[in-house]
């Protein structure tokens, strides 16, 4: 393949792994959620394997609570494949943490994954660069679940753009936000100090602008931050 024929460069993927993990504290103790044991391995090791198998070029860990524990856990792995980390100077929320990493490493576009969620399907739909000319600033991975009442739902219009969100508690099958994105730095405020949330403070405005596209992915979604899902994930992957 010639340079002219080559596809886009493999993306960087930011894993948001700086949360306090209060829902899981009674199960895994004081360790960060991403280090929750799945058999003999931490959850993060499984997530890293999945993301590299999906074709990311590097993984950048956004760290806060328990940063030194996470760094110690991945140091040997980082010697053999491209893993970096950025430690928050203070708790920045999901939006602030993403902006901090993008700015610290001069990244203009990246995947973003939550450090406590897992998708076992094909992630290749996230590989094409964002259609900036068409107004796409963020691509949101969606997965269909049998009951979205616990998660809240996502509404998609006929153009494949995310048009709104459903509150938690509305029962029935449907698509949910899988906590996996491809986003541009331009999706986030250019200069906003302090903590803010991608989900609560940024996504509604982007949706109103028609800047968020939906990317339906196959496979099953697991949120290990919920103790019952964590135990099920351990039973399925801890052998």
Looking at the DSSP bridge assignments, the partners of residue 114 are: 16
The CA-based angle 198-225-221, given to 5 degrees, is 80
pTM of whole model > 0.75?
Answer: yes
Domain ranges of the chain: 12-123+130-237
pLDDT of 8: 75
Query: Could you give the dihedral angle defined by the CA atoms of residues 157, 160, 163 and 168, in that order, rounded to the nearest 10 degrees?
Result: 100
pLDDT of 216: 95
The CA-based angle 100-105-108, given to 5 degrees, is 85
pLDDT of 2: 43
pLDDT of 120: 86
In whole angstroms, give the CA distance from residue 153 to residue 150. 9
Q: Give Cα 170 to chain centroid, integer Å.
A: 24
In whole angstroms, give the CA distance from residue 171 to residue 155. 14
In whole angstroms, give the CA distance from residue 12 to residue 79. 17
In whole angstroms, give the CA distance from residue 105 to residue 99. 10
What is the CATH number assigned to the segment(s) 12-123+130-237? 3.90.550.10
pLDDT of 110: 98
pLDDT of 232: 93
Helix (H/G/I), strand (E/B), else coil: 60: strand
Tens of pLDDT along 80-130? 999 999 999 998 999 999 999 999 999 999 999 999 999 988 999 999 999
pLDDT of 3: 44
- Report which DSSP code applies to 130: P
Neighbours of 146 (CB within 10 A): 7
> Do residues 154 and 175 lie in contact, with contact meaning Cβ atoms separated by under 8 Å?
yes
pLDDT of 21: 61
In whole angstroms, give the CA distance from residue 97 to residue 117. 17
* Low-confidence stretches of the chain (pLDDT beneath 70): 1-7, 20-29, 239
pLDDT of 4: 46
Tens of pLDDT along 69-82? 999 999 999 999 99
């Amino acid at each position: 393949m010639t340079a002219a024929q080559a596809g886009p460069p493999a993306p960087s993927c930011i894993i948001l792994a700086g949360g306090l993990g209060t829902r899981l504290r009674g199960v895994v103790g004081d360790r960060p959620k991403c280090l929750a044991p799945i058999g003999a391995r931490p959850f993060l090791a499984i997530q890293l394997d999945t993301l590299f198998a999906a074709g990311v070029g590097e993984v950048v860990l956004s760290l806060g609570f328990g940063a030194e524990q996470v760094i110690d856990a991945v140091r040997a792995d980082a010697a053999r494949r491209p893993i970096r980390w950025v430690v928050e100077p203070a708790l920045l929320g999901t939006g602030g943490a993403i902006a901090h990493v993008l700015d610290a490493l001069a990244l203009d576009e990246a995947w973003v994954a939550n450090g406590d969620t897992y998708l076992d399907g094909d992630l290749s739909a996230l590989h094409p660069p964002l259609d900036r000319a068409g107004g796409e600033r963020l691509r949101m991975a969606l997965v269909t679940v049998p009951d979205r009442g616990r998660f809240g739902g996502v509404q998609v219009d006929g153009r494949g753009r995310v048009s709104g969100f459903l509150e938690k508690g509305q029962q029935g099958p449907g698509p949910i936000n899988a906590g996996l994105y491809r986003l541009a730095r331009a999706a986030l405020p250019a200069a906003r100090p302090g903590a803010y949330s991608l989900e609560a403070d940024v996504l509604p405005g982007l949706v109103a602008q028609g800047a968020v596209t939906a990317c339906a992915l196959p496979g099953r979604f697991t949120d290990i931050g919920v103790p019952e899902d964590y135990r099920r994930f351990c039973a399925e992957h801890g052998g």
